Amino acid sequence: MRLMRSLCLLLLLWPGASSVRAAQATPPATPRRVRLYLDCGEAACDEEFLRREIPWVDWVRDRADADVHVLISTQRTGSGGNEHTLFVTRLRGEAPASDTLKFVTPPATSDDDLRHRFAQDLEVLLARDAVVRDGGDRLEVRLRSAPAAAPAAAAPARDPWNRWVYRLSGNGYFNGEKTYRQANLYGTLSANRVTELFKLGASVNENYSESRYTFDDGSRFTSISRGWSVNAKGVKSIKARWATGVNVNLFNSSYVNVERSVGISPALEYDVFPYSESSRRELTLGYLIGARDVRYAQETLYGKTRETLWSHSFDATLSLRQPWGSITLDGTAAQYLHDASKYRLSGYTQASLKLVRGLSLDFYASGSKIQDQLGLPRGAASDAQVIARQRQLATAYQYYGTVGLSYTFGSIFQSVVNPRLDNSLGGF
């Protein structure tokens, strides 16, 4: 044991390509594993990937439940890269009370390389915590020349909440000046439970937006938009590539002229790759069919105040995260069953690509061809409603996009972090 602990300490001081894995031995009846709370902040640490790479700890969602709290912060270096700092705090009075580990990545580092580095360093940091616990005599430390096989996960700790997670939130946004003021309020309550076989979730949301304009003659115009929704979803995994589920929703929206809409939509999805590989690559094909009963706030262009609508949609999504960067492509085709001419085609693409050393391309683009606006109210919108976007307007398409290209060159050894006067003079 003394020799093993010494090896772990040496490994912590050696920022090489090390790996710490729980040995493939028969575990004790009730192992007490390390409880880890990871606070990524603004760092792109890909928590889903880390949970898969380090299954020999218990990941907890609240700091108060943890034995070890790891806070990750990122600062820009002079060469345009990033210095990542992992601050470790042990919350159960175990020595040492804290650790700090830093590493620097150059500008051309891909998302895939970065998350592998986070996984490697987290394993190193957690080695001393694992070795002093039950099963610590089975801890194995080695240098690796090739990627090691993923370790087997031990039995999860007892969870009195049975994996249910609840969230209650509310926020408001306010701004104004002499002739204009705006307020936006939003609140939500949600409950979710996620396991390997099932995903269950429900949420209640409400929003309110108000804008007031004062004109030169003293007259005023007030624009109000409000809405609420209730959603419930259930998903069941079927083997390694299939999933089925259902969505039930109830909503109201003054913007889209809906007083009340109740709908139910079963769905089926197939992943060309196993779902276990979703943090690296994913190609899903999904089909959804559903019905909803709609009551409109105002009579529509088609003379409807209430109707039942059947629709179906097909969705295809490709998502890749590789050393060269990441890219997501998504396309959806939706159509009403009672009238084939009422349809919508939409898609988006998002990518961060490392083209050559130092040269990066980031872009996002989305667009829709729209032929399914059944809820548009009869009558023309007033100028004030158009300017304030108080209600949905007829359109045949929508689009949005961003693009950015950057090239970094020069010294690769500028790893020093110097934040002096960044707030007053701005960063370099």
Per-domain boundaries in the chain: 2-143, 164-407
Provide the percentage of residues in the chain whose pLDDT is more than 70.
79
pLDDT computed for residue 78 by the predictor: 56
Residue with the larger pLDDT of the pair 29 and 358:
358
- Tell me what pLDDT residue 37 has: 85
Fold of 2-143: Rossmann fold (3.40.50)
Over residues 275-280, mean pLDDT: 78
- If you ran DSSP here, which 8-state letter would residue 136 be given? G
Return the minimum-mean-pLDDT range out of 50-54, 59-63, 227-231, 235-239. Answer: 59-63
Supply the DSSP symbol for 43: -
The amino acid at residue 80 is G
Question: By the 8 A CB rule, do 41 and 49 touch?
Answer: no
**Model confidence pLDDT, tens digit, residues 187-210:** 999 998 888 889 899 999 999 999
Instruction: Indicate the SS3 state at residue 204.
Output: strand
Task: Look up residue 239 and give its two tokens.
Answer: 């083997």
Range from 154-168, 323-337, 376-390 that averages highest in pLDDT: 323-337
Distances (CA, A) of 383 to 388, 390, 393: 9, 10, 12
Mean pLDDT computed over every residue of the chain: 82
Q: What is the mean pLDDT of residues 84-99?
A: 78
Distances (CA, A) of 315 to 241, 282, 345, 387: 16, 13, 10, 34
Q: What is the DSSP string of 256-307?
A: TTEEEEEEEEEEEEEESS-GGGTTTEEEEEEEEEEEEEEEESS-BTTS-SEE
How far is it, in rounded angstroms, from Cα 177 to Cα 195?
A: 49
| Model confidence pLDDT, tens digit, residues 242-273 | 999 999 999 999 988 999 999 999 999 999 99
DSSP 3-state of 139: strand
pLDDT level of residue 80 (50, 70, 90 thresholds) = low
Residue 303: how many other CB atoms lie within 10 Å: 7
Q: Given the DSSP bridges, would you call strands 164-177 and 180-194 parallel, antiparallel or unpaired?
A: antiparallel
Average pLDDT on 137-142 reads 71
49/7: higher pLDDT: 49
Q: Examine the pLDDT at 390 and tell me if it is beyond 80.
A: no
Q: How far is CA 178 from CA 182, 218, 250, 372, in A?
A: 12, 12, 39, 40
Q: pLDDT higher for 339 or 423? A: 339
Please check the confidence at residue 155 and state whether its pLDDT lies above 80. no
- Most confidently modeled of 164-173, 392-401, 402-411, 415-424? 164-173
pLDDT over threshold 80, residue 63: no
Say what the pLDDT of residue 10 is: 42
| Tens-place pLDDT, residues 314-345 | 999 999 877 678 899 999 999 999 999 999 99
Query: CB 251: neighbour CB atoms within 10 A?
Result: 18
pLDDT of residue 418: 63
Q: Is the pLDDT of residue 304 over 60?
A: yes
pLDDT confidence tier of residue 414, bands split at 50, 70 and 90: low
Model pTM? 0.70
Closest CA to 173 of 222, 210, 223: 210
Domain 164-407 = CATH 2.40.160:
yes
Tokens of 299: 């009579």
Neighbours of 343 (CB within 10 A): 16
Specify whether the CB–CB gap between 265 and 290 falls below 8 A. Answer: yes
**Burial (CB count <10 Å: 0-12, 13-18, 19+), residue 318:** middle
